[in-house]
Amino acid sequence: MKTKMSSAMAKVACAIALVSGAVPLSGCSQIPVANTYPAEYQPRMQSVAHWRALAVELVGAIEQQRRVDPALAAKPIHVQPQQARTPFSDGFHTLLTAELLNRGLPLALAPEGAMILRYTTQVVGHKADRRNRPAPGLITGVAAAAAVPAHVLNFEYNSLQYVGLATGAGAVADLAAGAITDETNTEMIFSASIFDGEIMRFRATRTFYVNDRDFAHYEPSGLQRLATRVVAY
């Protein structure tokens, strides 16, 4: 009888500890607590100018790799168009070839005897609601901005030291208002590779947010899906 009562009391104690958020008692089991990755930035691609910026970044990475890999620099580059055409693939192909030529990298119109540059895109659509934390430094900046008037309006002798603080807080506010944008439920994985026959000489990947309604720019079947949605409306 005492054993049954002790077991029941232990279960009640565990339940109270788990519900109240206290440290679990000895013998209580608990599932792992969900955690997040460290905060970082991911650009949001939403214009042709952003496609050009990606082309510039990619060519810069190729130039850097050619300096450390003589085999990569020994042959011209043939940019292979994507088989499934999209607005992005057509536009990026034009911007990429133009940037390669502007940087003085040799291009080949045919794949024979050349390095083959291939690029792919993969669109990932998230259906679940995703929560995010405030941008790093935003809360600190807001708190600093709130603290400045109390000192400046009192005309303290050392009020000038808070001018720099106010400037820093203003910079944070500008960052929050312009450089930081809201996230979408659609992301795009971009990958580029250079092959020398069966040997991969170069590989680069980037991830971006894209506007939910712009997925058709990057997904081969996106145009057909978008047309279906329009008809359904």
Tell me the DSSP string of 41-86: ---EE-SHHHHHHHHHHHHHHHHHHHHH-HHHHTS-EEEPPPSS--
Of 30 and 228, more confident:
30
Query: Distance of alpha carbon 123 from its chain centroid, rounded?
Result: 13
Amino acid at 215: F
Secondary element (H or E) of residue 137: none
pLDDT value for 146 = 54
Non-local CB neighbours of 133 within 8 Å, separated by 6+ positions: 36, 39
Q: Which range is least confidently modeled, 80-84, 99-103, 108-112, 114-118?
A: 80-84
Q: Please tell me which of 33-47, 88-102, 178-192 the model is most confident about, judged by mean pLDDT.
A: 88-102
Length of the chain: 233
pLDDT averaged over every residue in the chain: 76
Tokens of 90: 């057509």
Predicted TM-score of the model (pTM): 0.65
pLDDT value for 127 = 79
pLDDT band at residue 177 under the 50/70/90 scheme: low
Answer yes or no: are the C-beta atoms of 207 and 42 closer than 8 Å: yes
Percentage of the chain lying above the pLDDT 70 cut: 58
E strand residue ranges, the chain: 44-45, 77-79, 115-125, 186-196, 199-210
State mean pLDDT over 29-45: 84
Q: Please tell me which of 33-47, 131-145, 195-209, 218-232 the model is most confident about, judged by mean pLDDT.
A: 195-209
Number of other CB atoms surrounding residue 229 within 10 Å: 11
pLDDT band at residue 119 under the 50/70/90 scheme: very high
**Residue 116 reports pLDDT greater than 90:** yes
Of 81 and 152, more confident:
81
Report how far residue 176's alpha carbon sits from residue 136's, in angstroms, rounded to the nearest whole number. Answer: 10
**Residue 27 reports pLDDT greater than 90:** no
State mean pLDDT over 132-153: 53
**Residue 228 reports pLDDT greater than 50:** no
Q: Which range is least confidently modeled, 110-119, 165-174, 189-198, 224-233?
A: 224-233
**Residue 15 reports pLDDT greater than 60:** no
**Residue 211 reports pLDDT greater than 70:** yes
Percentage of the chain lying above the pLDDT 90 cut: 45
Query: Exposed, middle or buried: residue 155 (CB in 10 Å: 0-12, 13-18, 19+)?
Result: exposed
State mean pLDDT over 1-30: 53
